[in-house]
A and B are shown apart, each in its own frame.
Chain A
Amino acid sequence: MSKPVSSFKLHLRAVATGLKYLLFPNRITVYYPEEYVEPPEGYRGLIRYYPERCIQCGLCAMICPASAMKMYRTKTDRKGRPGVNYQRCIFCGFCVDICPQNALEMTKVHDVAYESLNELVVPPERFSQEPVSPAVAGGARRLKTVFDEERGLRHELA
């Protein structure tokens, strides 16, 4: 503002850059419910539990820094099996790392919505079911991100 004449050139450059993006758009978003970007390997999404591998040691509940993992005990099963409270979970993956039997696994599902807070508390029975992404269940096309030297990120059918 203090140098109106020299800054005029910069204004022109800014407008030209805007026009460039207007004429040659470089969209980085996808039409989400119809298209679904597959997360990369090692993505920390919802946790899946395999009860047949579990030795009920309780290490996962012990390591959990957010106290989200808890052992659910019943009358017949005194040692308990893990369940998770997603209100607390910070998706750090400590429980998955510490499990000696690989009974816990992080899935790639992350786009899940719940209708009530109670549904966020997942007991062992539901914890052992495969989490489902609503977009994928609705028949979304799966896309994967590819790095492009020219354009930046690009989406391709997976």
Chain B
Amino acid sequence: MSWGDALSWLLRLLLSPQVFAPLIFPGLLTALVVLLTVIWAERKIAARVQMRVGPLYVTRRLGGVLQMLADGTRYMFQEFIIPATADRLPFLFAPVLALTLAIVPFAFIPAAPGFSPIKSPYSLPAALAAISAVPLSVLLMGWSSNNKFAIQGAVREAFMGLAYEAVVFISALSMGVLYGTLDLEEAVSRQWLPGLLLNPVAAFAFFVGMVMSAGKLPFDIVEGEQEIVAGPYVEYSGIIFGIGMGLAYLKLYSLSLIYTLLFLSGWEPVVAPLYSLYPGLGGVLLFAKAYLLMLFIVFLRSVYGRYRLDQALRAGWRIYLPLSLISLLISILLRVVGVV
């Protein structure tokens, strides 16, 4: 095999949906860029609302957009300390597991029509299942840290996980009932009207569940910076702490992609010239919608204070669980009437 053949083979491999989608777009590489820019945007938005300037001095002309890159670089070269009392193997293994589980959903999320890495009739529950497995590794982090704050954070994560997971799953499944499919790609093609208008109750319940799941304000109870100083991540330093911090944003990113697919009619309308250039690029609108959604969620930080654990749990079980069940009923009703 000559060099040219090898190169073309490599290019073909890279451009196949199975590699391109999880690794480049909308997967790992894009997720990294999203991570860096969304954290910056979060700080900038909060600064604007709070009458400040926000991060500025790194690349001043661009408004400090590379601030997160600088912070990340600092994390890279920071000493990684393993506490003597920590359970060494799980302590190291848990963050890696968490990051892996946070990336797995990208294997099921289609980027464009006919462009999903794993074409499965159950891609919606599969992606959600991978996301909902992340709290397990956070539990492991907290437990293996052998620190009271870490364990408190882990227990909070367990409580919160139970509260929001049911809401997210039921409201997502109600959309599955409405569209008559659990395939994300088909769900988009069934939306003659955006799902947000078809079943607004499900959209609202999923939205709140998503904010809870990603641990954004007003539900950043697990991290609890003020009283349990970053919770499960308290003993971590260096790049692993960076992973812990990025984990929430990765979850938020994959969940907002799913939200866009389910409720905001995904990549419709497809940008035809980009799609004909390369199918993977047809999902540009999907990405734009998901990004705007993420910006709105990080904007909530500047509006809300944090709920107490019991308040959030009460909201989860008493308000949003019934709401998601109502959304299921609405979906069944719409299905019987034959709207979709």
Query: What residues of chain A lie closer than 8 Å to B49, measured between beta carbons?
Result: 18, 21-22, 25
B residues 297-313 touching A (CB-CB < 8 Å): 299-300, 302-304, 311
Tell whether A15 is near chain B: CB-to-CB under 8 Å: yes
Tell whether A17 is near chain B: CB-to-CB under 8 Å: yes
Is the Cβ of B48 less than 8 Å from the Cβ of A21?
yes
Is the Cβ of A25 less than 8 Å from the Cβ of B302?
no
Tell whether A26 is near chain B: CB-to-CB under 8 Å: yes
Query: What residues of chain B lie closer than 8 Å to A15, measured between beta carbons?
Result: 300, 303
* Pairs of residues from A and B, 4 with the lowest C-beta to C-beta distance, nearest first: A18-B303, A21-B49, A25-B48, A28-B51
Is the Cβ of A4 less than 8 Å from the Cβ of B319?
yes
Residues of chain A at interface, number, CB under 8 A: 15
- Give the Cβ gap from B107 to chain A, nearest Cβ, in Å: 34
A17 to B302, CA, bound (A): 10
Residue of A1, A19, A26 contacting most chain B CB atoms (<10 Å): A1
Tell whether A27 is near chain B: CB-to-CB under 8 Å: yes
Tell whether A14 is near chain B: CB-to-CB under 8 Å: yes
- Of the candidates A4, A18, A27, the one whose C-beta lies within 8 Å of that of B299 is A18
Is the Cβ of A27 less than 8 Å from the Cβ of B51?
yes
Which range holds the interface residue count of chain B?
10 to 19
A14 to B53, CA, bound (A): 22
- Of the candidates B45, B48, B56, B314, the one whose C-beta lies within 8 Å of that of A1 is B314
Is the Cβ of B51 less than 8 Å from the Cβ of A25?
yes
Is the Cβ of B51 less than 8 Å from the Cβ of A22?
no
Tell whether B270 is near chain A: CB-to-CB under 8 Å: no
Is the Cβ of A31 less than 8 Å from the Cβ of B53?
yes
Tell whether B315 is near chain A: CB-to-CB under 8 Å: yes
Query: What residues of chain A lie closer than 8 Å to B56, measured between beta carbons?
Result: 31
- Of the candidates A14, A29, A31, the one whose C-beta lies within 8 Å of that of B51 is A29
Chain B contact residues, majority secondary structure: helix
A residues 98-156 touching B (CB-CB < 8 Å): none
Given contacts A1-B311, A1-B314, A1-B315, contact A17 B51 (CB under 8 A): no
**A14-B304, A25-B51 known, 19 other contacts, Cβ within 8 Å:** A1-B314, A1-B315, A15-B300, A15-B303, A18-B49, A18-B299, A18-B303, A21-B49, A21-B51, A21-B302, A22-B45, A22-B48, A22-B49, A22-B299, A25-B49, A26-B51, A27-B48, A27-B52, A28-B51
Is the Cβ of A14 less than 8 Å from the Cβ of B52?
no
11 A-B contacts, Cβ less than 8 Å apart?
A1-B311, A1-B314, A1-B315, A15-B303, A22-B49, A22-B299, A25-B49, A27-B51, A27-B53, A29-B51, A29-B52
- Give the Cβ gap from B151 to chain A, nearest Cβ, in Å: 27
CB nearest neighbor in B for A18: B303
Query: What residues of chain B lie closer than 8 Å to A21, measured between beta carbons?
Result: 48-49, 51, 302
CB nearest neighbor in B for A15: B303
Is the Cβ of B319 less than 8 Å from the Cβ of A17?
no
C-beta contact mask, A2-33 vs B, less than 8 Å → 1, else 0?
A: 00100000000011011101100111110100
- Give the Cβ gap from A25 to chain B, nearest Cβ, in Å: 4
- Of the candidates A1, A17, A31, the one whose C-beta lies within 8 Å of that of B303 is A17
Residue of B51, B56, B302 contacting most chain A CB atoms (<10 Å): B51
Query: What residues of chain A lie closer than 8 Å to B53, measured between beta carbons?
Result: 27, 29, 31
CB nearest neighbor in A for B314: A1
Query: What residues of chain B lie closer than 8 Å to A25, measured between beta carbons?
Result: 48-49, 51
A15 to B45, CA, bound (A): 13
A17 to B56, CA, bound (A): 25
- Give the Cβ gap from B54 to chain A, nearest Cβ, in Å: 10
Query: What residues of chain A lie closer than 8 Å to B51, measured between beta carbons?
Result: 21, 25-29
Query: What residues of chain A lie closer than 8 Å to B300, measured between beta carbons?
Result: 15, 18
CB nearest neighbor in B for A32: B53
A residues 25-59 touching B (CB-CB < 8 Å): 25-29, 31
CB nearest neighbor in B for A16: B303
